[in-house]
């Protein structure tokens, strides 16, 4: 970790920055070092890196602070907090000829909080307009625990004190809840499951569908977490939308739902890649992936079971009638009335994701 910070500090341009973040009971102190050579590319400085004097640096402080506040954001306990700009310090380096020059500008920022700090979310888009893969070493200290995060490009870092020094139990609980949340807000996954369940008339068929989906996405979720398989996010999201369209369309022609578990398995592999895209960045900050991946997967399953427990009684009630022909008619109408909006929604998703239009809200 020390070597990482040292390697970042050895470069002076827009490719690297170093942040020291101290989280206190009622404030967050963020000190960021940015290269003067990098600042030259995003704001107007009085002189170049090798000629810039300390007086000239201080004269440019308002522009430097304005740029940093545009790029660096902090939320405390879910609320956005305005920064108070502190001192701007020059960080000197020695050139090949022995000449000392200001290589870095070190700006101190304070984010106050009237309530006790329990959760902090940082976001940074430093030098995003001039380079895609800006590298940031972020050294966070909280409650006597210190941890270094290595981030590339624009990033977000969502922290609690327990995340800095996690136990197996706290990690498991966090990822179980995260998995459940992802299912409940993952409308495309819900639409896919709903399309499958509409054609499953028996509880046994529904259990097969959910189990098959579970096994399939567990496989690709684990492989993706180990970085053994990876697809571009746009391709994965497009395939998920295509799976919704296909299953909803097939519902109009299907007569038996007993084979659906096989189709679900194939598409479940794709949905697992979608889940992994959510996990990948978070796993970079952890020492082990076993507990997070298993816990996240368990949370996803608990979310699916919750949906099944709600959907099953409703579908059963709609189909219920002592007359077999009437039951078949109800099932016929149920599939068509339920599949049509899912098909249309999936089609909108597919077009939106293939052409990256950004029209759909999720």
Q: What digits encode the pLDDT tens for the residues 129-144?
A: 888 789 999 999 999 9
Between CA 344 and CA 340 the distance in angstroms is 6
Check residue 227 and give left, alpha or beta (phi > 0: left; psi -120 to 50: alpha): left
| Strand pairing report for 135-142 and 16-24 | parallel
194 DSSP 8-state letter? H
The residue ranges of every structural domain in the chain are 2-161, 168-354
DSSP states along 245-286: HHHHHHTTT-S--TTHHHHHHHHHHHHHHHHHHHHHHHHTT-
- The residues pairing with 167 across neighbouring beta strands, listed in sequence order, are none
Mean pLDDT over each residue of the chain, to the nearest integer: 87
- Sign of the Cα torsion 57, 62, 65, 67 reads negative
Read off the pLDDT band of 287 (50, 70, 90).
low
Q: Torsion over CA of 57, 62, 67 and 70, rounded to 10 degrees?
A: 150
pLDDT, position 205: 78
Provide the pLDDT confidence category of residue 24 given band limits of 50, 70 and 90: very high
Q: Indicate the pTM of the whole model.
A: 0.68
**297 closest CA partner among 183, 202, 198, 148:** 183
Instruction: Write down the residue that tokens 């427990």 correspond to.
Output: 309
Mean pLDDT of all residues in 352-360: 82
Distance (Å, rounded) from C-alpha 240 to C-alpha 74? 33
* Greatest alpha-carbon span in the chain: 95
Kindly tell me if the per-residue pLDDT of 2 is higher than 80.
Answer: no
Interaxial angle between packed helices 260-283 and 203-225, expressed in degrees from 0 to 180 and rounded to the nearest 10: 30
DSSP state of 215: H
pLDDT, mean of residues 169-190: 88
Q: Distances in Å between the alpha carbon of 80 and those of 113, 127, 156, 289? A: 10, 22, 14, 31
User: Which ranges in 157-202 belong to alpha helices (H)?
Assistant: 161-164, 168-185, 187-198
* Non-local CB neighbours of 341 within 8 Å, separated by 6+ positions: none
In this prediction, residues 276-293 reach a mean pLDDT of 76
Torsion angle of the four alpha carbons 199, 200, 201, 202, in this order, in degrees rounded to the nearest 10: 180
pLDDT band at 8; cut points 50, 70, 90? very low
In this structure, the number of other CB atoms found within 10 A of the CB of residue 228 comes to 9
Would you state the pLDDT for residue 255?
A: 64
Segment of 76-85, 198-207, 265-274 carrying the highest mean pLDDT: 76-85
- β-bridge mates for residue 29, sequence order: 22, 110
**CA-CA distance, 66 to 72, in Å (whole number)?**
10
What local confidence, expressed as pLDDT, does residue 4 receive?
42
pLDDT of residue 90: 95
Cβ-based neighbour number of residue 240 at 10 Å? 23
pLDDT in tens, 236-252: 889 999 999 999 999 88
Rg, C-alpha atoms of the chain: 26
Cα 360 to Cα 362: distance, rounded to the nearest angstrom: 6
Task: Please give the pLDDT value at position 282.
Answer: 72
**Residue 38 host element (H or E):** helix 36-39
Q: What is the pLDDT of residues 86-102, one digit of tens each?
A: 999 999 998 888 889 99
Q: pLDDT of 51-82, one tens digit each?
A: 999 999 999 999 999 999 999 999 999 999 99
Nearest to 130 by CA among 48, 39, 236: 39
């Amino acid at each position: 970790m020390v070597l990482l910070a040292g390697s970042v500090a050895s470069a002076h341009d827009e490719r690297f920055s170093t942040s020291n973040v101290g989280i206190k009971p009622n404030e967050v102190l963020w000190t960021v070092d940015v290269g003067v050579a990098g600042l030259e590319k995003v704001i107007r400085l009085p002189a170049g890196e090798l000629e810039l004097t300390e007086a000239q640096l201080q004269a440019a402080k308002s522009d430097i602070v304005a740029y940093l506040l545009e790029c660096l954001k902090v939320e405390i306990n879910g609320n956005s907090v305005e920064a108070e700009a502190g001192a701007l310090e020059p960080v000197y380096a020695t050139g090949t000829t022995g000449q000392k020059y200001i290589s870095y500008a070190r700006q101190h920022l304070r984010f106050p909080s009237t309530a006790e700090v329990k959760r902090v979310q940082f976001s940074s888009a430093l030098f995003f307009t001039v380079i895609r893969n800006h590298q940031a070493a972020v050294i966070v200290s909280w409650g006597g625990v210190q941890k270094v995060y290595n981030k590339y490009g624009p990033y977000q870092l969502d922290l609690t004190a327990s995340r800095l020094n996690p136990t197996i139990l706290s990690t498991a609980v966090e990822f179980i809840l995260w998995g459940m949340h992802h299912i409940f807000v993952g409308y495309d996954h819900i639409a896919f499951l709903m399309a499958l369940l509409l054609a499953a008339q028996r509880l046994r068929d529904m259990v097969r569908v959910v189990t098959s989906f579970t096994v399939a996405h567990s496989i690709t979720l684990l492989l993706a977490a180990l970085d053994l398989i990876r697809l571009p996010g746009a391709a994965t999201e497009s395939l998920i939308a295509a799976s919704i369209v296909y299953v909803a369309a097939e519902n109009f022609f299907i007569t038996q739902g007993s084979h659906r578990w096989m189709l679900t398995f194939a598409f479940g592999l794709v949905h697992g890649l979608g889940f992994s895209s959510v996990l990948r960045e978070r796993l970079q900050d952890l020492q082990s992936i076993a507990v997070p991946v298993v816990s996240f997967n368990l949370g996803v399953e608990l979310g699916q079971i919750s949906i099944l427990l709600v959907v099953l009684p409703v579908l059963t009630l709609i189909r219920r009638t002592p007359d077999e022909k009437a039951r078949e008619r109800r099932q016929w109408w149920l599939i068509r009335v339920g599949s049509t909006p899912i098909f249309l929604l999936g089609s909108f998703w597919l077009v939106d994701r293939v052409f990256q239009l950004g029209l759909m809200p999720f």
